[in-house]
Amino acid sequence: MTFDFPEPTRIAVNGVELEVFEAGRQHAGNPIVLCHGWPEHAYSWRYQMPALAAAGYHVIVPNQRGYGNSSRPDEVTDYDVAHLSGDLVALLDHYGYEDATFVGHDWGAFVVWGLTLLHPHRVNGVVALSVPYQQRGEMPWTEFLEAAFGPDFYLVHFNRQPGVADAVFEENPARFLRNLYRKNLPPAEPQPGNVMINIARAVAPSGEPVMSDSDLAVFVSAFESTGFTGGINWYRNLDRNWHLLADVDPIVRQPTLMIYGDRDMVARAPRLTEFVPNVDVVTLDCGHWIQQEKPKETTEAILKWLDRRGAA
């Protein structure tokens, strides 16, 4: 299917401006919001947008704060889950919607999970790709990850050494993104250091490209303009998010679809159904970049799930 990616609109929400792309505006009243991850862009949903619009949905795809031509606040704390979910609530308010189905990949999934906990009445369904529900546990997330994986684990490194990884990625955004957006990776021994910095500095990429050169150029152009700090600041709020979610009901009761890639490095959640009792699980033969590696299969899985629950 050919699809001309739509021109964006800048919308003022929650003290920032978001760059928002839409399809299916004629289906106002039936919204579905697609939330990208890191280091991504609204363009990562280019394959799903036309199919969802054709199925009768008003498809709303923001570049979230820190990305694309959306606002990039200076304060790290402006990227916590309260702000990120607040942006999505305000986006619904802008369009006059009480609630919507929210789809999130990677960090976008984490934000959608948090949105559902903090604002449950604004979410009528959840689709999460790659990143399952993260149970809160007794130890702040960065502390837990450091104890489990050490100080060089990239989520820990981003928090403990602010600015270091950002600068490395910004030395050569094209090389970093080319090396990162890969699929069918061969087995490899873990190397010491921050895996993301290692990827950014690798002379040659592994595996196969996830996208064409022209598609990759959209991402490269965006990050050459914005840098990477805004997106990495999402990681720098992991422990703040842990505190912000302390007193909310931890159970997601909305109908949910969890889509895993069976070669994704992100771990599955063994206790998913305890916290998300109304979940259906689909596994696709791919790595982390699920909706771009397997666009047809991802779109079909989402549409079948939406059809079963009678969302359209």
Sign of the dihedral defined by the CA atoms of residues 244, 156, 135, 108, in that order: positive
pLDDT band per the 50, 70, 90 thresholds, residue 297: very high
Looking at residue 139, what DSSP letter applies?
S
pLDDT digits (tens, 9 = 90+) for 188-245: 888 889 999 999 999 999 999 999 999 999 999 999 999 999 999 999 999 999 999 9
Strand residues in the chain grouped as ranges (E): 9-13, 16-23, 31-35, 58-63, 100-105, 123-129, 182-183, 208-209, 256-261, 279-284
pLDDT digits (tens, 9 = 90+) for 74-131: 999 999 999 999 999 999 999 999 999 999 999 999 999 999 999 999 999 999 999 9
> CA–CA separation, 142 vs 160, rounded Å?
9
pLDDT digits (tens, 9 = 90+) for 237-288: 999 999 999 999 999 999 999 999 999 999 999 999 999 999 999 999 999 9
The model's pTM: 0.97
pLDDT at 2 over 70: no
Looking at residue 106, what DSSP letter applies?
T
Looking at residue 311, what DSSP letter applies?
-
pLDDT digits (tens, 9 = 90+) for 60-84: 999 999 999 999 999 999 999 999 9
> CA–CA separation, 264 vs 51, rounded Å?
25
pLDDT at 312 over 50: no
Q: Residues with Cβ < 8 Å from 274, sequence gap 6 or more?
A: none
Q: From its phi and psi, is residue 163 left (phi > 0), alpha (psi between -120 and 50) or beta?
A: left
pLDDT digits (tens, 9 = 90+) for 154-168: 999 999 999 999 999
Q: Residues with Cβ < 8 Å from 208, sequence gap 6 or more?
A: 182, 183, 184
Domains of the chain: 9-137+230-308 (3.40.50.1820)
Q: Return the closest-CA partner of residue 73 out of 133, 15, 5.
A: 15
Is there a contact between 279 and 256 (Cβ–Cβ < 8 Å)?
yes
End-to-end Cα spacing for the chain: 22
pLDDT band per the 50, 70, 90 thresholds, residue 311: low
> CA–CA separation, 161 vs 122, rounded Å?
36
pLDDT mean across residues, the chain? 96
pLDDT of residue 117: 98
Percent of the chain at pLDDT > 70 equals: 98
Active site residues: 106, 288
Tell me the three state secondary structure of residue 129: strand
Q: Which run of H or of E encompasses 219?
A: helix 213-226
Q: Return the closest-CA partner of residue 219 out of 59, 2, 38, 18.
A: 38
